[in-house]
Chain A
Amino acid sequence: MGAVLAAVLGASLAGCSSTGGKRAEERAKAAQAGRPAVSTPRWTFAMITHAGDGDTFWDIVQKGAKEAAAKDNINFVYAHDDQAQQQAQFVQNAIDQKVDGIVVSLAKPEALKDVLAKAVKAGIPVITVNSGSAQSAAYGALTHIGQDEVVAGEAVGTELNERGRKKAVCVLHEQGNVGHEQRCAGAKKTFSGTMENLYVEGTNMPSVQAAIQAQLQADPSVDAIVTLGAPFAPTAVKAKEAAGSKAEVDTFDLNASVARDLKSGALGFAVDQQPYLQGYEAIDLLWLYRYNANVLGGGRPVLTGPQIVTADEAGKLEEYIKRGSR
């Protein structure tokens, strides 16, 4: 009996991998598991964003916010909707629940104007993240944390010039997103070559690939493709290969496959706006305001980007990307 047991145990142990897998992930998690590092009361902070369902970028923002919440002993509530009316509704829900702080993304600022005024009137501190830097202060928010989209676009244009590119395509995956328009406009401004906008249906990957492919086949002189989201970069690479084009693919934002492709040289560069920081800082600054009445930024937006990431930096960032915090 004992021998059988020993044999089974031995066999199962021999079948274990000492690297990677679920166990490594759990070890890493345990190492960075957040425990409250403060003794302030358990406040409730609500975060309401304009993210659609299953959005990788916002997942990282949320992760940053959650880890800051764990550290600061905060009860963290999250809600999101890509329709302005519904987002305003969620802010109203948070006010109804008398939360102690609100973090909100202002992709559609006018729609949230009234309801944020209500929050301020109810004495709830508000911090805006990611988009809406122009309106943040006017709507009574303490601080705005994010990347100036025009500035980020300009950085892309400059980088494309340095790489000697002449003809670029800017791939917009969300019709109706003002921030995306600003990125492409910024890139157009500093880019000395010509740049065209290409609108694709971001919720339907095969059609994204087909559209980019068609564009490259129609115009073989295109030598740079800029995608506005990490999930679209590998798709653009596939489209480029299928169309037999020599164009360089560059992208906004990071994810694991972007890091891999940067290292292998399939992608030129990525522009990171550090989403983790946007979520983390928003919660942390609300806590600081509640605890110590501190406000960061001196009335100006606190910028988290743009950061140009090339093959050299990608290797260093890879493990952070894998754990979902970059």
Chain B
Amino acid sequence: MSAAAPADGRDERLAPTSTLRKLLARPELGSVVGAVAVFVFFSIAAPTFLQASSLSTILYSASTIGIMAAPVALLMIGGEFDLSAGVMVTTSALVSSMFSYQMTANVWVGVGVSLLVTLAIGFFNGFMLTRTKLPSFIITLGTFLMLTGLNLGFTKLITGTVSTKTIADMEGFPSARALFASQWTIGSVTLKVTVLWWFAIVAVATWILLRTRAGNWIFAVGGGADAARATGVPVVKTRIGLYMGVALCAWISGQHILFSFDVVQSGEGVGNEFLYIIAAVIGGCLMTGGYGSAIGSAVGAFIFGMTSNGIVYAQWNPDWFKFFLGAMLLLATLLNAWVRKRAEATK
């Protein structure tokens, strides 16, 4: 159905659309329906699911995925992948911890160095992609493998073991912990600071996407790089910026892991990159780029948090854990696609 041209002779594309129709056209609508479905399901299946303390656990679990899912969603809207995002989190934590320890420096020095190193890795991903013209899947797969090896190799070389030494007794640790890993307990509810980080990151990502020129560039580059370049969009800058955004959030996640556990295992983080991608896809990002939202990625992360913890609260046999997780995610994504189709049909 086409909107009739308004009477005052303006372009019909500028005609106001009703709020309901605007809502139906949002990419995250399907995931919200999915989230409600999963929530209702586990409320019935797991007796302890609805407790305030359980819900705060779920929120924390979702935030650890969601902090990374937002920049990954932006990257996917820009039409690219990052398979190194999972181990990059571990790398950032390792650099921070080992630099502080070996240099006997204030912990904040390590945190700063780690930020520079992680951003450099993000820049490397973007730079290689724009220079070589190879698919991002290949470039970041290479980075993923290299980082996995570096994490183990360097940690072993420097500390002689496979995990870092404790930095809890060093200067600056308490203040860094307050920023990255503090928590407030109100009654039986524990609110972790990562939840605030998560909301802030999603808000900033949404603002960039919908209210800035950079957001338009991201959509344009994901929709078609050549067309975007022809209309004057800085494609190279946009792509490198997106990868550095992922790196920035990987740094935040990494510091959280370091300051909440104070010792980092060098072999971890492998496989988490897929969780971020899954959260983004459930949230309405298309695998082909050019479509999606940051709020959707947050809803996707929340679905993941509900599912992975709900299975435990329901006391199901853990042998089937991965199966249920996969089935849930598939169903949520299918529902999402179906809702989107319905929404588009009513336009």
Contact = CB atoms under 8 A, between A and B. Distances in A.
A84 B260 CA distance: 11
Nearest to A59: B319
A264 interface: no
A108 B267 CA distance: 12
A146 B313 CA distance: 28
Size bracket, chain B contacts: 20 to 34
A75 to B, nearest CB: 8
Interface stretch (A176-184, A217-225, A309-317): A176-184
B57 interface: yes
Interface string A66-81: 0000000000011110
Interface in B190-215: none
B64 A85 contact: yes
A84 B265 contact: yes
Contacts of B313: 93, 96-97
Interface in A89-145: 89-90, 92-93, 95-98, 108, 110-111, 113-114
B182 to A, nearest CB: 12
B57 A89 contact: yes
Given A108-B265, A176-B163, A92 B64 contact: no
B12 to A, nearest CB: 52
Interface string B307-341: 01100110100100110000000000000000000
A175 interface: yes
Given A93-B312, A96-B48, A97-B313, A110 B166 contact: yes
Given A84-B265, A89-B309, A97-B48, A176 B57 contact: no
Interface string A239-261: 00000000000000000000000
A176 B268 contact: yes
Interface string B25-58: 0000000000000000000000010010110010
Contacts of A78: 318
B263 interface: yes
A78 B311 CA distance: 12
Contacts of A90: 312
B261 A110 contact: yes
Interface string B156-197: 000001110010000000000000000000000000000000
A88 B104 CA distance: 29
B327 to A, nearest CB: 16
Given A96-B51, A175-B267, A80 B166 contact: no
A83 B268 contact: yes
A96 B265 contact: no
A53 interface: yes
Interface string A185-208: 000000000000000000000000
B94 to A, nearest CB: 12
A110 B262 contact: yes
A180 to B, nearest CB: 9
B96 interface: no
Given A176-B152, A181-B162, A85 B257 contact: yes
Nearest to B267: A176
B240 to A, nearest CB: 30
Contacts of A113: 261-262
Given A53-B322, A96-B54, A89 B61 contact: yes
A218 to B, nearest CB: 20
Nearest to A174: B267
Q: Tell which of A77, A175, A177 has the most Cβ of chain B within 10 Å.
A: A175
A79 B324 CA distance: 14
Interface string B256-291: 010011110111110000000000000000000000
Nearest to A80: B318
Given A84-B265, A181-B161, A92 B57 contact: yes
A108 B163 contact: yes
A79 B312 contact: yes
Given A84-B265, A89-B309, A96-B48, A178 B161 contact: yes
A176 B162 contact: yes
Nearest to A118: B190
B176 to A, nearest CB: 16
In the A-B complex, the 4 residue pairs with the smallest Cβ-Cβ separation, listed nearest first, are A176-B267, A110-B263, A111-B261, A93-B312
Interface of B: 48, 51, 53-54, 57, 61, 64, 152, 161-163, 166, 257, 260-263, 265-269, 308-309, 312-313, 315, 318, 321-322
Given A89-B57, A89-B309, 9 more contacts: A79-B321, A80-B318, A83-B269, A85-B257, A92-B57, A96-B313, A108-B263, A176-B152, A176-B162
